[in-house]
Each structure stands twice: as C-alpha cells, then as structure tokens.
Structure 1
Amino acid sequence: MSKGDIIPATLGVLGVAVLGAYYMFTSPAQAQDNPDTPNLVIEVAGSTDGQIVIDLMPDVAPNHVAQITTLAKEGQYDGVVFHRVIDGFMAQTGDVEFGRVEAPSGRPGTGGSELPDIAAEFNAVPFNRGTVGMARSASPNSANSQFFIMFAPAPHLNGQYTVFGQVIEGQDVVDAIKRGAGGSGAVTDPDYMKSVTVVE
C-alpha cells in the first residue's frame, strides 16, 4: 500500500466543535482569512494555472501545520505534481520524494519526505468543499508530506484523517486541476505546484 493512500473509513462522524461548525457552514468563497494563522500559497501550473490560498489551522493540527510549513519554506513542494485527482472527490499532491514534475519516477504517491511521520491529530473540522487534509497509509500515524484538497464534502473521512487547512481563495483553480483516470485517479501529464510559500 502506498504511503499516501486515502482509505475510506466507516466509523462515525465526530461531533462538530465551534471551529468545525464554522467551516461546516461556510463555503470556501465565504471563508475569511484568520490574521492570527499562517497561509499556504500554492501557484499551480500545467493545463491550468492560478493561485490557491489555504488558511492553516495550527490550533487544531499544530504538528501537521509545522511539518507542512517546514517543507514549504525549504522549497520541497516546488515542482510537485497532483498525482491523484478523482472527479467529485479530491486532488492529492505533496510527494516530495517521487512526485517531481521535472524528474518523474513512475512512483508518484508512494513517497514522503526525510522528515519523520506525524502522529494523527484527528479533529472536529469536517471534510467539506475546499477542506485540506493530510494523506496517510493504513496506519493513522503515517502522515508525512502528502495532502489533498476536497472538491466536495466527504463525511466518511471525518475524524479519520487530519484536517489542517481550508481554501480561502482559488477554489476555482482547485476545480480546474487535471483529473485522473479510473478509480485510482492516477493522472497522466499532471498539473503541479510551481511554487508553495508560507505567508505569516
């Protein structure tokens, strides 16, 4: 099983706390930037281009946000493809080991980074349109560098994957990311993250 597989879960949905309720009833277009938290800014290139701005959530997933921001500040996400994109579900990226557009390995989605895996920080924020979650393998504590952005709500993921951000600008860019084929969502000639920066 690859390191970044998203595994459908059948366990129940966690109760929604105040922050979770905010994102449950707020569309990406309505979501407001929290000036007290950092933003992840992704410049997308390939068959589509544009900017995605993600409001990070260190209050609910501090270790995941720390890992993501470290990798972004080191430039490790620059040039990494959206290797798994399933229409009506999500777009997955972040394989800094095997997912580089300039040197395709044939194994995108199976790697991570040199940083250690992160223990799960499951929280009450639901998976809705524009929600950003951390990919993992079968182990809840196997998240590393890969993440995914939702095209649509997926309540079966609630409480099973760590939510660490929400798109506040550029959901139209997310929607335009090149889709993959079949149930696996593997993408031929994928779109990619030209650059990823952190704005604090």
Structure 2
Amino acid sequence: MSSDKVLFAGLMSLGLAVVGGYGLSQSAVFAQDAEDGPGPNLVIEVSGEAQGEVVIDLLPDVAPEHVERMVTLAREGAYDGVVFHRVIEGFMAQTGDVEFGKGDSLRRAGMGGSSYPDLPAEFSDVPFARGTVGMARSQDPDSANSQFFIMFAPGDFLNGQYTVVGHVVQGMDVVDRIARGEPPRQPDVMEKVTVAE
C-alpha cells in the first residue's frame, strides 16, 4: 500500500483549479441527481452532520473489477462505520478506507485499503461531473483498492486519470452536507452500506 491512497494527480491539479478558476463555482456547475441505471446500487446510510441516505448507481460495464470490489466489500460489511476522511470544498468527499477509516484512532485514515489486492486501472471516457464516483489511488495507476470519492463539482482534470465506478442518483444534498476537512474535526460516517440490485 502507498503511504497515502489519495487523489495524487487530482490534488496537484486542484491547486491549479482553485487558483485558476476552472469553473468550480457552486452556482454554475452543480447538476441535479443523475438518472438511475441498471445498477447495482450502493446504498449508503450517512450519520453525522450530513445525516441521510446516498444512493450510487454503479457502472459494471465501465469498471467491472472495481464495481465487483465495492459490491464485495459492501456485502461483507467492510464499509460499515468508515468515515469520510478527506473532504475538500468545491472538489470531493473521500471515504472507503476499510483498514484505517473506522474506530477511535483515525490518525492513519486514508493510508489503507482492504485485504484484497490492488486493482488494475479501468480508465474510461466517462467524465468526472458533479456526483461522479471515482476510485482513489496513489501515483501508481494500478493502486486503487477500497477507497472512493464523490465529486462536489466537475473535475475535468481527473478525466482518464482515475477509474469512474458510478454516479450519485439520490442524496446529493446529503453529500453536500458532509463535514469538510483533511480530516474533518467530526467526520461523517458511512454507518451502513448495502447493495440493491
């Protein structure tokens, strides 16, 4: 595992995006919840400041191995109790560290994965729009494992650099309320994560 399973290139670009504008203003770029496709759907019960349900339509036709991993971890209960450990205003909310992202000590949250091996990249032409869900990784394109992020706003600089696994079809208002920070002082938690076919 890398010392930090985060959006390396994305965060490098974020600095440029924030400074240069890149259309990250809240009024212009936020879209409505996307249409629900054939699924499967990841249903996340969020507790904390956000409090509510988020439904993600997963895209097995786009990223079959990554979707299978997320479904497996959800069905095993591995995502239950995992915090949103990195939440950047105007960019994204990251979670899914099943190794270090739960419990009393979160000092290593964001550095772990699962007991399964890292996945080879499944890059596609699906763009990173508001509500798009992507897999977090280190500098190595083939290092995604369990962590994922939800976009608050479009991030074209991530296109073709990170694996897209789905999009939010319900609950973007909940995503918008997730506590900000790296990590947040009082992080929101994926209390329960289930799969709906």
Q: What is the TM-score normalised by the length of structure 1?
A: 0.85
1:162-200, CA deviations, whole angstroms, 9 ceiling, x for partnerless residues? 0000000000000000001xxxx3222211100000001
Indicate yes or no: 2:36 matched with 1:33. Answer: yes
Aligned-residue identity in percent:
61
Number of the residue aligned with 1:188: 185
Amino acid at match of 2:166: G
Amino acid at match of 2:90: G
Number of the residue aligned with 1:96: 98
Amino acid at match of 1:160: Q
Contact 1:121 1:162 in 2 (8 A): yes
Structure 1 segments, 4+ long, off by >3 Å, are none
User: 2:101 & 2:166 partners in 1: Cα distance?
Assistant: 22
Contact 2:124 2:164 in 1 (8 A): yes
Amino acid at match of 1:91: A
User: 2:147 & 2:42 partners in 1: Cα distance?
Assistant: 14
Larger helix share, 1 or 2: 2
Q: What is the TM-score normalised by the length of structure 2?
A: 0.87
User: 2:190 & 2:106 partners in 1: Cα distance?
Assistant: 17
Indicate yes or no: 2:89 matched with 1:87. Answer: yes
CA-CA distance at 1:132 after TM superposition: 0.1
1:128-148, CA deviations, whole angstroms, 9 ceiling, x for partnerless residues? 100000000010000000000
Number of the residue aligned with 1:168: 169
Q: How does 1:8-157 map to 2 (within 5 A)?
A: 8=9, 27-29=31-33, 31-34=34-37, 36-100=38-102, 102-157=103-158
User: 1:194 & 1:2 partners in 2: Cα distance?
Assistant: 26
SS in 1 for 2:43: strand
Unaligned runs of 5+ in 2: 14-29
Number of the residue aligned with 1:22: none
User: 1:116 & 1:47 partners in 2: Cα distance?
Assistant: 33
Number of the residue aligned with 1:179: 180
SS in 1 for 2:9: coil
How many residue pairs end up in the alignment?
Answer: 180
User: 2:120 & 2:130 partners in 1: Cα distance?
Assistant: 25
SS in 1 for 2:68: helix
Cα RMSD for the two superposed structures:
1.9
Unaligned runs of 5+ in 1: 12-25
Contact 1:28 1:169 in 2 (8 A): no
